[in-house]
Structure 1
């Protein structure tokens, strides 16, 4: 196997740049209103602080253990969610009725300083025309005509708030707005009397851009409205969920390359063609439902068209209650490359009974809180390694417990304790092999890291959860086979 294949960067040279850009875009979008800055060290690689030369793997592990709060071995469900089910079908009339209800009766707001992820002030009804330097380019003038045709002359998507030029993210917003506009056209007549439909489009454009960037970033999606958005999209789209993510990744890459408004229109149209009109309707519908605090979603979610079908499908396939998963999940790990979704849930989010005695279940009835064996479709997670070992016992004669995604403090901070100390990530390994794996991670291997200064451990910890896990399995296979 070549070094490139081994490097756990399966989409080529540009993938780390894309992932980093997406992570940065999400960070900028979701922290634009915050003051101050996160604490941290000095120089970073891939956006994460690197340890000093005095740091040792053992010190990382000990510090991670010290930071864990052992509250008596509390459990969670760490489940690998299936996507092998058909998407729910939502018709244009159903979408129109749902959006009209939400937009006319749910308070929305649009902020020019950060994405509108929280319920608060009502949606702005006017936009201020912009003149001068902002409109000098042909693309900006075409954008102005687009806004005028929509009934709101000026900067209708608030793209010039950060300066007089259309930036890369502005182009992505335009392409996305053009992609979802057909799904909104049938709602305009109902909304126009009370709300400016173009400002609604701006709200959705900002919101979808922020959520999708989070889903494609290497960081897990943490508890909140964005996590609820991802779970609902999975429940509605099934196997088309990853088609949506791949299509948006392509839009994210293509839009900044556009040199004219027509090229942006083609980027948006291509996105719409790839995922299809049904997925566009679901994207718009779920994004609208998730505008606001998670608590508001509890009442809005079950009113969505097709929610009953989506909920029954999810419970049959996983044993999970869809709204409990959407509003109660702690973290979600989405890997587009691997086509997997992993999620951390409280135990009470799992149904304890199987309807009609059939269907796959993430956890079998009554066995979810008993025993220490691996469970079909789901895995038990713990809030500390100490709690894991107390419940699971010893790894076995001549064996030791090994974390595929390592349990040092950096991973603990990024992914959370349950993502590290669970029965999928922690496996028994022969003691001698375990020592060789640890030594390999501590070594400096230029062919893998591309740097003479980084250890393998320092290099891999900047990768996504799924990349670290795949790399860990590969290291074990290679060392066990004597290839290194």
Structure 2
């Protein structure tokens, strides 16, 4: 990892040495980075209030939420109040979620305008300001956690993750690692590069404003400006990204996290957008080792196996990658031409009548779902889908294709990508 980070730092120096357009660089630590220039439209995945509450409720009620404190090497759990040395900071977070007290109202559940915050640490002040910025989401968060034993403690745990990320983002050229890198990858997929960079800029402004603040009112104003800059839609994604990363999914590694990510709102759409605009499959964000920002460029450090096929098939260094879709396979072939010599076009999510009817032709016949494969591999894949594989499907009568046809788009896509890899390595196949 030290070598990978050294490569990342060197790459940042090279990126910063000249003016470059906004974009993504996928660095695997070997070979030239894959450069992706997202479409100028900066497509984002919408998460409305209802979807936000549903996803958050599911995680809160079904999954334990551990989080390693940035101050002590111990885990805070929603099931117990934590240690006494951190109660003061937790109390500040609870009060900030309650907002600023009205005139003459002094309460343990809100920040008093009479309180002097000059004695707070910079991290405490940033946390209070960030907590106050989430006021527009207060009702939705409250609905999601109303059936828990300690709603305010849940908020404290999530706020801790938000603060940790925001502190890193406030650096001149931030480098996010470990959990913060995974959060960054999720933000990039759901928000797009331009909006992600806006959140980074807003975090810097929030940090500067909260550092200068000497009263609760000034912290409240800093939080309000941050909220206005990012908007409630971005804030929802921010809270969900932190929640899923600090949930049980991360403690089980990248595989466990991938399972939890399928509960994210608009998962199929986010998978497509992530592959085309970021070059990263949504289910693979747990493999991201580091994310760095240099100017208007974002560098993602990850294994080559986690890079989306649409990015691997792109021309290095100059390609503009984006999803193009057509109403039929013949329309796609007219636009893209025949596959290269010795290769054939392959649909990751198959172009069966059932899939076209359920998901729409544009979801099937597009530049992210249709890729080129060697003829021999394509033939073996077709034979595999037409065969009965009880050890994989659990069925003695259904073919792989029939078994797969009833599943969601995201599940079919994940299986399709896995099938390509395992059939290519002859782990799966038809043996006669």
TM-score of Structure 1 vs Structure 2, range by shorter chain: 0.5 to 0.7
Over 3 Å counting, the alpha-carbon distance change for 1:123 and 1:146 in structure 2 is: farther
Which of residues 167, 170, 177 in structure 1 aligns to 2:124?
170
The residue that corresponds to 1:3 in the other structure is: none
Distance 2:281 2:95 in 1: 46
Distance 1:312 1:234 in 2: 13
**How big is the shift at 1:94?**
0.8
The residue that corresponds to 1:204 in the other structure is: 158
**How big is the shift at 1:329?**
2.4
The residue that corresponds to 2:311 in the other structure is: 362
**How big is the shift at 1:122?**
4.0
Over 3 Å counting, the alpha-carbon distance change for 1:148 and 1:119 in structure 2 is: farther
1:279 maps onto 2:234 in alignment: yes
Does the CA-based 8 Å contact 2:176-2:290 persist in structure 1? Answer: yes
TM-score of the aligned structures, taking structure 2 as reference length:
0.54
The residue that corresponds to 1:91 in the other structure is: 48
**How big is the shift at 1:263?**
1.8
Q: 5 Å matches for 1:276-355?
A: 276-292=231-247, 293=250, 294-295=253-254, 296-317=256-277, 319-324=279-284, 326-335=285-294, 338-352=295-309
Over 3 Å counting, the alpha-carbon distance change for 1:375 and 1:177 in structure 2 is: same
Over 3 Å counting, the alpha-carbon distance change for 1:195 and 1:148 in structure 2 is: farther
Q: Kindly report the root-mean-square deviation, in angstroms, between the aligned alpha carbons of the 2 structures.
A: 4.2
**How big is the shift at 1:81?**
4.5
**How big is the shift at 1:79?**
3.2
1:254-311 Cα distance to aligned partner (Å, 9 max, x none): 0121222122111111101111111111111111111142434212112111232121
Over 3 Å counting, the alpha-carbon distance change for 1:178 and 1:115 in structure 2 is: farther
Q: 5 Å matches for 1:70-89?
A: 75=30, 78-83=33-38, 84=40, 85-89=42-46
Structure 1 gap ranges (5+): 1-47, 49-72, 158-162, 353-360, 368-372, 379-484
1:64-83 Cα distance to aligned partner (Å, 9 max, x none): xxxxxxxxx98467234545
Give the aligned length.
275
Does the CA-based 8 Å contact 1:81-1:341 persist in structure 2? Answer: no
Tell me the secondary structure at the aligned position of residue 305 of structure 1. coil
Tell me the secondary structure at the aligned position of residue 204 of structure 2. helix
TM-score of the aligned structures, taking structure 1 as reference length:
0.49
1:9-61 Cα distance to aligned partner (Å, 9 max, x none): xxxxxxxxxxxxxxxxxxxxxxxxxxxxxxxxxxxxxxx9xxxxxxxxxxxxx
Pick which of 269-278 and 197-206 moved more. 197-206
Structure 2 gap ranges (5+): 1-8, 10-27, 112-116, 322-432
Over 3 Å counting, the alpha-carbon distance change for 1:318 and 1:104 in structure 2 is: closer
